[in-house]
Amino acid sequence: MDNDRKEKTFILLKPDAVQRGLTGRIIARFEDKGLKIIAAKLVQVTREQAEKHYGVHKGKRFFESLVEFITSSPCLALVLEGRNAIKLCRRIMGSTDPMDSEPGTIRGDFSLDVKHNLIHGSDCPDSYAHEVQVYFTPEEILNYRLELEGWIYYA
């Protein structure tokens, strides 16, 4: 991808992030890197949404525990936009296993274990396209410009 092009990514702050009061600190890390929030909402994930979101894992031994956890408490769903947003967000998040996450990443600094790893983020454009429609309608995703963008994209 051209380094000056923007892309969108889906982020879900999981029940443990909400329950531990970490949502503001996590969002700040993305904004500090120049990513723009273009959609956000607090959601009580339904079983139907969870099964659709994690459909790729259906039939695996851990599928049911994923569904139970993500539906156990509210989550904060976000769409972020920015330069190389998917790759950048994945780096900010850190490895899925917090034991493998570097200090300075969200999971490296705050996660307790693999199940309670605070955050989900799209891993590629196809995942984004699938995941975003589980939680947002097209009308809920805003298109606006921050003055900061001129400094980031040199437009």
Q: Spell out the residues 6+ positions from residue 125 whose beta carbon is closer than 8 angstroms to its own.
A: 7, 86
Contact criterion met (CB below 8 Å) for 53 and 134: yes
Given CA atoms 71, 75, 81, 82 in this order, what sign does their dihedral have?
Answer: negative
Overall residue count recorded for the chain in this entry: 155
Using a 10 angstrom Cβ sphere, with 0-12 exposed, 13-18 middle and 19 or more buried, the burial of residue 40 is: middle
The secondary structure element, H or E, covering residue 7 is strand 6-13
Between CA 154 and CA 148 the distance in angstroms is 10
Query: What is the SS3 assignment for 63?
Result: helix
Between CA 37 and CA 79 the distance in angstroms is 6
Our answer to whether residue 130 is catalytic in this structure is no
Task: Find the catalytic residue in 53, 116, 120, 130.
Answer: 120
Q: Which positions are annotated as active-site residues? A: 120
